[in-house]
Amino acid sequence: MLSKEELIRYNRQIILPDFGIEGQEKLKNSSVLVIGAGGLGAPNLLYLTAAGVGRIGIIDFDEVNLSNLHRQVLFDSNEIGEQKANAASRRLTQLNTEVDIEVFNEPITSANALETIGKFDLVVDGSDNLPTRYLVNDACYFLKKTLIYGAIFRFEGQVSVFNYRGGPNYRDVFPTPPPPDMVPSCSEGGVLGVLPGIIGSMQCNEAIKVITGIGTPLSGKLLLFDALDMSTRTLNIKSSEDNPLSGSNPTVKELIDYETFCAGVDKPDLATKEISVVDLKELMSKKTIHILDVREDYEYDIANIGGQLIPLNQVVERQSEIPRDREVVVMCKAGGRSQSAIDILENEGFDNLINLKGGILAWQKEIDSTLEVY
């Protein structure tokens, strides 16, 4: 039953053909879990709250930082350093006091995914890494929960609805993770600030359609969007017999250690030599360490720990500047580009390269919190 205030608040939705009071009551009685309060999560959370979803869960254990603010519109400069989930909850409650907000200040893992997701009717994936995407997809499949998928990179985005009434799931499109060097994160490859707002709003639209029963959800379809020319393409997706989760001979029968499963996607290959920031700091206190920084010039100007700057796209032509007679620690922002640089240089005959695990982000977290990280 909608209150008088709710009838006024949601009037513009209620008067829509095929929506009405029934659609609004479906929203009020529904619950949605949003994975991530970042670029995709922000518009989803804002519009789901404004639309009148009765209960919304937020999973995010990260803190607000300055580099978030060009795209994560839930936050402002005064909230830098605050837990994202807490800041988001406060903002959403101010937007709509009729909505119950539940905060999870912890990562979603194979240990808690089934229990957490099981509390909600629908899941919106706003994560930014492959281990989480596979984990959430598989948990939704086991629990028979619909998953609203979105992904962004640079100027392009994707949206789909997975596991809707037994329809295709994420593994029907991406059965297993691609090679690590083919999947740079937004922190490594960049993203146009407005793009998460566009894709996140599309996700929210799909969530509202699924909850209320209006329209046709993007189940069995993958929508591709290009912000540079405003083009869209829609690819058809079919359930595959070879799907390792839901195919005729499934090999994935429980949630697994997805960080290992996706090894190298968001961190260096564990088979490659690497060094932690703590160990590097200790070595630097004892002797001179040659550090090769493969970020861009402007990134180096924002934050650096010294060392030789050669951007990734210049390492081959400038390889003569890199020592071969001693160990070289290669670093970037989070560990992805530095691993790519090592792979490239090893093909050129280098055998003395060590990856700095976690890059300058890990350095800032473990060693020097005064660094201004972007």
Options 140, 204, 262, 332, the catalytic residue? 332
Give the integer Cα–Cα distance in Å for 360 and 307: 12
- Taking the alpha carbons at both ends of the chain, their separation in whole angstroms is 47
Angle, alpha carbons 100-205-178 (nearest 5°): 100
d(CA 338, CA 311): 10
Structure tokens at 285: 């206190």
Contact status, residue 148 vs residue 222, Cβ threshold 8 Å: no
204 is catalytic: no
CA 47 to chain centre: 19
Nearest residue to 117 (alpha-carbon basis) of 162, 173, 59, 60: 59
Catalytic one among 140, 186, 204, 262?
A: 186
Distance CA 369, CA 353 (A): 26
Instruction: Answer whether 148's CB lies under 8 Å from 126's CB.
Output: no
Task: Measure the CA–CA gap between 171 and 137, rounded to whole angstroms.
Answer: 8
DSSP notation for 37-67 = SSTTHHHHHHHHHHHT-SEEEEE---B--GG
Question: Is 262 known to be catalytic?
Answer: no
**Closest listed residue to residue 303, CA positions, set 362, 343, 219:** 362
Residues in the chain: 374
Catalytic (active-site) positions? 186, 332
